[in-house]
Chain A
């Protein structure tokens, strides 16, 4: 009950953490989409040598354990690492980068599948109605939009709910890198069950809502 009261009271720290969580994961989604959607489109549309291999690679990478990816990134981003100069370790940009890499395979793999699932005759149809090659690709993307939104939602969900990257690359610094998952993990360890519960309720609500959306989209796709 206290947890609900805390949510309803609009506790500043709680709001701060929630907003940061969204910010971090949206940045990750944006980065991953900029790279992942064109790659997914390419894999979905074109038949080139090694295409199957690349697709398999990306779908395998979906299962990447967050802590393992976090460790690798940690080594890259740490002061003595090859990307140490970027000073991304213990920043929300660092976490975003990690999450972007984590969800990139989801976006590539899901969007490629969504495009592949389209009747290939639609492309011929677009062309014979006078569409240019660019128009044809845009039409196929539009036709696959449900599947692509599904890919984005699933990717966001994964980023939003993950703990390993946020913990290792962000270190749960108060007012700086604290996000929902890291706070829950740390505060419950420290005995602040009320805050943890409140944050969990928010986390679960967001994830469930998005999952419900995914289910509905799947049914329509």
Chain B
């Protein structure tokens, strides 16, 4: 039998009477696992338990097949290192902060400093050794914290929102470091930045209100979210409630009130939610004669720029993400009537 990195069985954690995690059962074995969810969903609590910094109120956690107990928790802490969301530092120089873990493992001071120095250099922090760690900028602090963890060559690396509050350059540095490290040892990262999650994660756990809502590949999470809450969270803006009226050869027809939508699904009846990612919706001035099974007419009620793309909202509630060039080429304005097309495979359905 294969031994999993972590196996959680019915893990529950309360702080006083406040539940932080409820009845969590999952196994973690991938190279990079991402935990996503709103703040307060229990991501940090879960990471802390995996790091041996918190113990479950009930349930069991096995690490490499061995149940974690107060007796062996120290071994877990030696194997696993966690990086906190806001790096904290001992009131010491950068080099002594980085050397701290090695010193606790009995490495002598000079060697610990030397190994720390090499790690700092590889993270672009050469010359920072003697500076007080608490006086560095946010990006530098995050890198020092990472150096302090990586110098220990942990068998598992846990990261709590490693790129929050970082500028794009520092974010990129951190993301690449995580990628590189994951070749050597598993990484579990809690984050809310989906683009990084998509890029990094082999598997994603979605936590909401302390419960595991979905545990899947990134593709499944973003294209086939379980339920409305997860869909909302991962940014699917088109959610329609409806009823499946028929199913022909794996394509369900869903009545959403004024219109019907065709969705690739085996569901043949009952109340459902239909999700369509706005970037999968094509807008056109005339009804398309194409392979797209859905063609919905609507009137534009809002045009909003979101970063590099525009969000076009129709009166029937459908949103589409399109580029500025498309907005100009189609001469879109509020009040204009247009057609929205999307494939039956671009829509996803979940039973209510």
Contacts and interface: CB of A to CB of B under 8 A. Distances in A.
**Which of A127, A128, A132, A135 gathers the greatest number of chain B CB atoms within 10 Å?**
A128
A129 B53 contact: no
**Which of B48, B82, B104, B105 gathers the greatest number of chain A CB atoms within 10 Å?**
B104
Nearest to A133: B74
B104 A131 contact: yes
Interface string B60-93: 0000000000000010011011101000101100
Interface residues of B, number: 21
B152 interface: yes
B53 A130 contact: no
B148 interface: yes
Contacts of B275: none
A89 B55 CA distance: 53
A15 interface: no
A132 B77 CA distance: 9
B148 A119 contact: no
B104 A130 contact: yes
A139 interface: yes
Contacts of A117: none
A114 B88 CA distance: 18
B249 to A, nearest CB: 54
A13 interface: no
B51 interface: yes
Interface in A107-130: 119, 121-122, 124-130
A162 interface: no
Contact of B101 (A119, A121, A129): A129
B143 to A, nearest CB: 16
Contacts of A143: 90-91
B80 A128 contact: yes
B47 to A, nearest CB: 10
A59 B90 CA distance: 28
Contacts of B339: none
Nearest to B148: A129
Contacts of A135: 104
A119 B134 CA distance: 13
Interface string A126-155: 111111100100010011000000000000
Given A130-B101, A130-B152, A139 B90 contact: yes
A132 B101 contact: no
A68 to B, nearest CB: 40
A122 B148 contact: no
A128 B91 contact: no
B100 interface: yes
Contacts of B74: 132
B104 to A, nearest CB: 5
Contacts of A131: 100-101, 104
Contacts of A139: 90
B52 interface: yes
A127 B77 contact: yes
Contacts of A142: 90
Contact of B84 (A125, A126, A132): A125
Interface of A: 119, 121-122, 124-132, 135, 139, 142-143
Given A124-B48, A128-B52, A129-B148, 20 more contacts: A119-B88, A121-B88, A122-B88, A122-B90, A126-B100, A126-B104, A127-B52, A127-B77, A128-B82, A129-B81, A129-B101, A129-B104, A130-B77, A130-B78, A130-B101, A130-B152, A131-B100, A132-B104, A135-B104, A143-B91
10 contacts: A122-B88, A122-B90, A128-B80, A129-B81, A129-B100, A129-B104, A129-B149, A131-B101, A132-B104, A143-B91
